[in-house]
């Protein structure tokens, strides 16, 4: 029987099918070969996509930990490296107490696993897209090169043979790419799959994990302690969040009642001004209606609300509480006065990501990096969409903000070095503020770096951190200075991870566009007993009027902490 001749698809269809096939092959290549070098807890680690349907953590001679992948057939192979030396300098485990602190260090990084997962997924997707584009570029270049080498006559012969076989060739290319990608992406042998572990991880995200090698014995021996710390930490911050919500609602109810009383009083005053006595009052002269509070914004101008956090020192468990306050307050800007990390290492990127996720969607975050941060931290902050101050004025939500990273760089175990003296940075910021002429806020880490600017009269309000001790808004120089306490609850000789050892503080600020200044502030506190309080709104004192002589005294010790400051916390200010 004669075989019917092959039907040749139209030329546009052939090109479309070939293009789609090439794209799918490149996409499969990109996905199955994507890698990312990030952190896993305090370790550096390499993440590689696999097709085994499992997340496999390779700990070398100790063995592996395996758990079913939430992405179905797509899994991830994680190769864990040593803890970086610059992180281990923070606290060497030379005693049993040291080992306990090591467990707290792991708890700190795994306290918010969703942040780690999100960072890994984002990095793998970016790498997969990059590899796909590179593969497509290689295909295009190779195709053009092959076209030039073949010549017109040979291309016609090859096209006549391939045209009727377009579908078969396309499917073959995709299958080959899939098989090749699968071989390169999945090198876990079936015999390496572990056995169910002891019930240490029951009730956690690792429930059902399988362990191979010596790691199983380590988990059985020490895993319960780590899980116990994890559960203790989760309960503390769950209780703290419940207390915070209750305190917020109580304060909101008080403010609503006060607003109602003020409205009734204002209405009564308006009636009296028109000659109508209030109910139950006798005839008499009408009092003058009360004038609005100097802190109240004009009716046609909405105040800008900002939330200040500082000295977070990688206590990522506070991130959900920061988000709770930010969301309930309806903030327009999140301000970070620095020291997001403990030692500015690459593995502490998870801390940056955790606090970046604390801001509500669409809310900008502005940060002035502290002495415990680093350029690596700044890069991670920029990558997460934060505005990192670098000595220039930026406008955010209508507020003109000036600031820069701290002039000192402190590395635990390595001392403190300076990229610029505090005096020089202070004078530079003063000059920028005076040249700009319209700065609303100076955001820095160390309070006294702003001394020159505050005494120049070019900065009306300054916010900082560093001391781990709060100083209420106070007239200073020709402006007002506020020092936020530690949002990590930093306490002397105590770690800044796990349940709080000191009071964690956040501050709400209001900027009134009509008055062109900060007018109100409110303190939010979370205490070591998991209780919380939300303070009432308080007035910010107005900037100081310049003296008649025009000469403003400058303090002798520019670069010192505020009077009475007592640095505290395991991470030195």
Is there a domain that residue 274 lies in? no
CA dist 125 and 34 (Å) reads: 8
Residue 346 sits in the same domain as residue 465: yes
- Count of domains forming the chain: 2
Radius of gyration of the CA atoms of the chain, in A: 31
Residue among 477, 480, 481, 482 at smallest CA distance from 547: 477
Diameter of the chain measured on Cα atoms: 119
For residues 265 and 146, is the Cβ–Cβ distance under 8 A? no
The first and second tokens of residue 421, run together, are 């003296």
* End position of a domain, from candidates 161, 196, 211: 211
Give, as one character, the DSSP assignment of residue 285: P
pLDDT of 566: 38
Is 38 in a helix, a strand, or coil? strand
Identify the pLDDT of residue 344: 85
Backbone angles phi, psi at 64, to 5 degrees: -130, 160
**333: enclosing H helix or E strand:** strand 333-336
Q: What is residue 285's predicted lDDT score, i.e. its pLDDT?
A: 43
Are 163 and 41 members of one domain?
yes
Same domain, 521 and 375: yes
Q: What is the SS3 string spanning 406-448?
A: CCEEEECCCEEEECCCHHHHHHHHHHHHHHHCCCCEEECCCHH
Q: What per-residue confidence (pLDDT) applies to 564?
A: 37
Let me know whether 180 and 312 are in one domain: no
Q: List the Cα angle 390/392/393 in 5-degree steps.
A: 125
Domain boundary among 211, 228, 255: 211
Among 196, 211, 226, where does a domain finish? 211
Considering the domain architecture, whether residues 206 and 309 belong to the same structural domain is answered as: no
Q: Are 309 and 207 in the same domain?
A: no
Q: Are 297 and 512 in contact (CB under 8 A)?
A: yes
Do residue 206 and residue 311 come from a single domain? Answer: no
Tokens 């609303």 label which residue?
440
CB within 8 Å of 231: residues ≥ 6 apart: none
Alpha-carbon gap, residue 45 to 36, rounded angstroms = 8
C-alpha–C-alpha distance, residues 567 and 153, integer Å: 82
Whether residues 328 and 431 share a domain: the answer is yes
Q: For 175-237, give the DSSP string.
A: HHHHHHHHHHH----GGG--EE--GGGTTSTTTT-EE-TTHHHHIIIIIHHHHHHHHHHHHHH
Strands 304-309, 195-196: pairing is: unpaired
- Intra-chain end-to-end CA distance of the chain, in Å: 90
Token pair of 477 as six digits = 């120089």
Please give the helix or strand (H or E) that residue 55 lies within, else none. Answer: strand 54-58
> How many other β-carbons are positioned within 10 Å of the β-carbon of residue 133?
12
Helix axes 166-185, 11-32, angle to 10 degrees: 0
Residues 337 and 189 in one domain: no
DSSP 336-376: E-S--SSS--GGGHHHHHHHHTTSPTT--EEE---TT--HH
The CA distance from 311 to 446, in Å, is: 11
Q: Are residues 201 and 321 in the same domain?
A: no
Q: What's the confidence (pLDDT) of residue 172? A: 63
pLDDT at residue 292 in the model: 47
Q: Answer whether residue 293 is part of any domain.
A: no
- Please give the backbone phi and psi of residue 572, each rounded to the nearest 5 degrees, phi first: -65, 145
Query: Is 29 contained in some domain?
Result: yes
Tell me the C-alpha distance between 390 and 525, whole Å.
Answer: 30
pLDDT at 98 (0 to 100): 45
Residues 320 and 193 in one domain: no
DSSP three-state, residue 48? strand
In a domain, 563, yes or no: no
Distance CA 65, CA 87 (A): 24
Domain that includes residue 88, residue range: 11-211
Q: Show pLDDT as tens, one digit a residue, over the chain (573 residues).
A: 555 555 665 666 666 767 777 787 788 888 888 888 877 766 678 888 887 777 777 766 666 777 777 677 777 888 877 655 554 444 444 443 444 444 555 555 455 556 667 777 888 888 889 999 998 898 888 877 877 776 677 666 666 666 566 666 566 665 665 555 555 545 544 444 445 555 666 666 666 666 666 566 666 666 666 677 778 888 999 999 999 999 999 999 999 998 888 888 877 665 565 555 554 444 444 444 444 444 555 455 799 999 999 999 989 899 999 999 999 999 999 999 999 998 888 878 888 988 999 999 999 999 999 999 999 999 999 999 999 999 999 999 999 999 999 999 887 666 778 888 999 999 999 999 999 999 999 999 999 999 999 999 999 999 999 999 999 999 999 999 999 999 999 888 777 778 899 999 999 999 999 999 999 999 999 999 999 999 999 999 988 766 665 555 554 444 444 543 333 334 446
Q: What is the CATH number of the domain that holds 308?
A: 3.60.21.10
| Residue 464 resides in a domain | yes
Structure tokens at 461: 């309000």
Distance CA 185, CA 241 (A): 42
333 lies in some domain: yes
Positive or negative: CA dihedral 238, 242, 248, 252: positive
Q: Is residue 292 part of a domain?
A: no
Contact 344, 374 (CB under 8 A): yes
pLDDT of residue 145: 80
363 located within any domain: yes
């Amino acid at each position: 029987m004669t075989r019917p001749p092959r039907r040749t698809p139209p030329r546009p269809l052939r090109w479309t099918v070939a293009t789609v096939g090439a794209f799918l092959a490149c996409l499969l290549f990109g996905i199955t070969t994507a890698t990312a070098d990030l952190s896993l807890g305090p370790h550096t680690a390499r993440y590689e996509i696999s097709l085994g349907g499992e997340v496999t953590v390779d700990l070398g001679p100790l063995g592996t930990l395996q758990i079913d992948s939430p992405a179905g057939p797509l899994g991830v192979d994680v190769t864990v490296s040593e803890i970086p030396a610059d992180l281990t300098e923070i606290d060497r485990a030379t005693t049993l107490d040291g080992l306990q602190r090591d467990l707290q260090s792991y708890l700190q990084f795994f306290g918010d696993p969703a942040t780690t997962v999100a960072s890994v997924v984002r990095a793998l997707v970016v790498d997969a897209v990059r590899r796909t584009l590179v593969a497509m570029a290689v295909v295009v270049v190779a195709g053009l090169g092959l076209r030039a080498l073949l010549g017109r006559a040979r291309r016609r012969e090859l096209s006549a043979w391939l045209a009727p076989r377009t579908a078969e060739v396309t499917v073959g290319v995709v299958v080959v790419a899939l098989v090749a990608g699968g071989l390169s992406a999945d090198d876990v042998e079936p015999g390496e799959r572990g056995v169910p572990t002891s019930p240490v991880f029951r009730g956690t995200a690792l429930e059902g994990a399988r362990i191979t090698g010596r790691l199983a014995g380590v988990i059985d021996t020490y895993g319960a302690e780590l899980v116990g710390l994890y559960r203790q930490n989760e309960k503390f911050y769950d209780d703290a969040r419940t207390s915070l919500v209750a305190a917020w609602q109580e304060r909101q109810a008080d403010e609503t009642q006060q607003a109602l009383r003020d409205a009734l009083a204002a209405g009564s005053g308006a009636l009296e001004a028109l000659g109508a006595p209030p109910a139950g009052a006798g005839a008499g002269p009408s009092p003058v209606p009360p004038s609005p509070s100097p802190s109240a914004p004009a009716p046609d101008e909405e105040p800008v609300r900002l939330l200040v956090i500082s000295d977070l020192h990688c206590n990522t468990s506070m991130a959900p509480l920061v988000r709770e306050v930010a969301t309930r307050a309806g903030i327009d800007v999140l301000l970070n006065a620095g020291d997001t990390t403990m030692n500015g290492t690459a593995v502490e990127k998870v801390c940056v990501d955790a606090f970046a996720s604390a801001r509500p969607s669409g809310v900008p975050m502005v940060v002035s990096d502290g002495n415990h941060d680093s350029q690596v931290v700044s890069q991670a902050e920029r990558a997460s969409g934060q505005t990192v101050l670098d000595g220039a004025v930026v406008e955010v939500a209508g507020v003109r903000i000036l600031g820069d990273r701290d002039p000192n760089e402190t590395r635990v175990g390595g001392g403190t070095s300076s990229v610029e003296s505090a005096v020089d940075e202070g004078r530079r910021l003063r000059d920028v503020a005076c040249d700009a002429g319209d700065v609303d806020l100076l955001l820095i880490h160390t309070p006294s770096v702003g001394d020159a600017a505050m005494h120049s009269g070019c900065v009306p309000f300054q916010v900082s951190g560093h001391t781990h001790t709060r100083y209420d808004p106070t007239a200073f120089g020709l402006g007002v200075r506020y020092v936020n306490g530690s949002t990590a609850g930093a306490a002397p000789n105590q770690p800044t991870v796990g349940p709080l050892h000191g009071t964690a503080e956040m501050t709400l600020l209001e900027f009134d566009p009509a008055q062109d200044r900060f007018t109100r502030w409110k303190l939010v506190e979370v205490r070591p007993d998991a209780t919380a309080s939300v303070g009432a709104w308080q007035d910010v004192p107005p900037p100081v009027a310049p003296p008649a002589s025009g000469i403003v005294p400058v303090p002798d010790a520019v670069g010192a902490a505020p009077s009475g400051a007592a640095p505290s916390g395991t991470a030195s200010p």
